């Protein structure tokens, strides 16, 4: 540890920077050197925010809505968020006082954890997981209990694995459906079975990360655990946001509903931290939630077509095996068949880290190694690009794999 690190907060010093942001930096560095890189690494839709939402933000600026809002969000937005939870998720009792608005879904999750975790507490994180969960837990001084959920269970947590992971120090279980990085979607029955286990352990809180709710394929229905088992409502933080559904990643608006004691603690924390989210973004989010919704259906079917394209092309590639994801815009591809092979440039592929690095260096395609999400050897491919770019990227990946 060097001197600079010794001056850091111990929890921060031990946390890892985001692997996805690191890959984005490497892509930027290669592009700066003139390389034409196709990036399949970013976790954001490639569409523009719908015009009526952008117009609402411009109108908010013109109307002078440029001051601080209430810490937990402006009331009209909180009312829209409550209506969303009631109407779309069947959380019938939610009123605006049962909601909080934060600067991105990420802040909802972080603040829920930071408001509740103490040294020695445990958080159950099913793997593959979104890169930020274990690091957030670590930043809060608690311990992430990683439960590996392999392809045999569709990358999903089983009731037995959950029961085995719960201990006296368990404070939270984090669930994410549709999942980043696998696109796995929990069915109503699967959530009910997990809820059954949780009912026997009243000390465990549940964080349901529903940020990809609207990106769900094959006509499947979306379910969230507090709806499936209302008896868990009093200890569940159901979080969501506008980033993925309305292509609003840069606007930084997320929201959640949960028990009042938790919301009050999160509001107290936020009041000493960022205060209310950007007033202009809140007006944009209000337009998103209350305006026309066809954008969601249209983008979802585009992603579904791309999913079909990617699964087909990747499964035609020697050494790769791609299960069919049920939602989000990620494919979690096994690269086990590439292990031990040597690239044209002479690199031996021993890990999925090696595969991601070689794909970037030798094929100019950026993906993220599965180990960053807690399961190897895989690569995560984000298909948030148009068909031509995806086809070109898959061709480059295939050429790379054939040349080994």
Ligand X SMILES: Cc1ncc(COP(=O)(O)O)c(C=O)c1O
In the complex, the residues that contact ligand X under the rule CB under 6 A are 43, 104-106, 130, 176, 180, 209, 211, 241, 243, 249, 254
Q: Which is nearer to ligand X, 43 or 323 (CB)?
A: 43
The Cα 294–Cα 302 span in angstroms is 13
How far apart are CB 70 and ligand X at their closest, in Å?
20
Cα 29 to chain centroid, rounded: 25
Distances (CA, A) of 336 to 219, 347, 352, 373, 375: 31, 16, 8, 16, 12
Q: Which is nearer to ligand X, 249 or 321 (CB)?
A: 249
Q: Which is nearer to ligand X, 254 or 276 (CB)?
A: 254
How far apart are CB 72 and ligand X at their closest, in Å?
16
How far apart are CB 109 and ligand X at their closest, in Å?
6
How far apart are CB 194 and ligand X at their closest, in Å?
18
Cα 163 to chain centroid, rounded: 24
Q: Which is nearer to ligand X, 104 or 377 (CB)?
A: 104
How far apart are CB 185 and ligand X at their closest, in Å?
13
Lay out the sheet containing 254-257: strands in order across: 99-102, 254-257, 236-241, 205-209, 170-176, 122-127, 143-148
Bridge partners for 125 per DSSP: 146
Classify residue 325 by burial, with Cβ atoms within 10 Å: 0-12, 13-18, 19+. Answer: buried
Q: Which residue has the tokens 């379910």?
A: 223
Q: In the structure encoding, which two tokens stand for residue 149, read together?
A: 């959920």
How far apart are CB 44 and ligand X at their closest, in Å?
7
Q: Which is nearer to ligand X, 254 or 374 (CB)?
A: 254
Q: Which residue has the tokens 């080994």?
A: 404
Q: Which is nearer to ligand X, 89 or 176 (CB)?
A: 176
Taking a C-beta distance cutoff of 8 angstroms, is the pair 307, 383 a contact?
Answer: yes
- Dihedrals phi, psi of 48, to nearest 5 degrees: -80, 150
Q: Which is nearer to ligand X, 104 or 323 (CB)?
A: 104
Q: Which is nearer to ligand X, 104 or 319 (CB)?
A: 104
Distances (CA, A) of 7 to 3, 17, 140: 7, 17, 18
How far apart are CB 192 and ligand X at their closest, in Å?
22
Pairing of strands 205-209, 170-176: parallel
How far apart are CB 365 and ligand X at their closest, in Å?
20
Question: CA torsion 284→288→294→295, rounded to 10°?
Answer: 50
Taking a C-beta distance cutoff of 8 angstroms, is the pair 207, 172 a contact?
Answer: yes
Q: Which is nearer to ligand X, 190 or 354 (CB)?
A: 190
How far apart are CB 101 and ligand X at their closest, in Å?
11
Pairing of strands 99-102, 368-369: unpaired
Q: In the structure encoding, which two tokens stand for residue 328, read together?
A: 């989000």
Q: Which is nearer to ligand X, 372 or 401 (CB)?
A: 372
How far apart are CB 402 and ligand X at their closest, in Å?
32
Q: Is 395 helix (H, G, I), strand (E, B) or coil?
A: helix
The Cα 43–Cα 381 span in angstroms is 9
């Amino acid at each position: 540890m060097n001197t600079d690190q010794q001056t850091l907060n111990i929890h921060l010093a031990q946390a890892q920077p985001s692997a996805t942001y690191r890959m984005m930096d490497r892509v930027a560095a290669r592009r700066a050197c003139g390389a034409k890189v196709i990036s399949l690494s970013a976790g954001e839709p490639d569409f523009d925010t719908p015009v009526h939402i952008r117009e609402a933000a411009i109108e908010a600026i013109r109307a002078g809505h440029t001051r601080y809002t209430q810490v937990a969000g402006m009331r009209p937005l909180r009312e829209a968020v409550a209506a969303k939870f009631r109407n779309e998720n069947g959380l019938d009792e939610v009123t605006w006082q049962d909601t909080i608005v934060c600067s991105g879904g990420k802040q909802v999750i972080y603040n829920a954890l930071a408001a509740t975790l103490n040294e020695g507490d445990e958080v159950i994180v099913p793997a593959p997981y979104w890169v930020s969960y274990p690091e957030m837990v670590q930043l809060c001084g608690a311990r992430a209990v990683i439960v590996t959920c392999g392809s045999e269970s569709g990358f999903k947590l089983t009731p037995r694995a959950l029961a085995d992971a719960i201990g006296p120090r368990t404070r939270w279980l984090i669930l994410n459906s549709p999942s980043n990085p696998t696109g796995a979607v929990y069915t109503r029955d699967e959530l009910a079975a997990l809820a059954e286990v949780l009912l026997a352990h009243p000390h465990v809180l549940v964080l349901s990360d529903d940020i990809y709710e609207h990106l769900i394929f094959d006509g499947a229905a979306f379910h969230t655990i507090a709806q499936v088992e209302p008896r868990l409502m009093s200890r569940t933080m159901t979080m969501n946001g506008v980033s993925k559904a309305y292509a609003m990643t840069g606007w930084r608006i997320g929201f959640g509903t949960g028990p009042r004691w938790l919301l009050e603690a999160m509001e107290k924390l936020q009041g000493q931290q960022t205060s209310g989210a950007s007033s202009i973004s809140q007006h944009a989010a209000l337009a998103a939630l209350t305006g026309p919704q066809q954008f969601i259906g249209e983008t979802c079917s585009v992603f579904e077509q791309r999913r079909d394209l990617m699964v087909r092309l990747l499964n035609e590639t020697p050494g790769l095996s791609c299960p069919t994801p049920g939602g989000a815009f990620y494919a979690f591809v096994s690269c086990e068949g590439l292990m031990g092979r040597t690239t044209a440039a002479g690199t031996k592929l021993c890990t999925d880290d090696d595969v991601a690095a070689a794909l970037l260096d030798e094929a100019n395609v950026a993906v993220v190694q599965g180990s960053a999400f807690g399961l190897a050897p895989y690569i995560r491919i984000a298909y948030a690009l148009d068909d031509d770019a995806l086809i070109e990227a898959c061709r480059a990946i295939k050429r790379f794999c054939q040349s080994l």
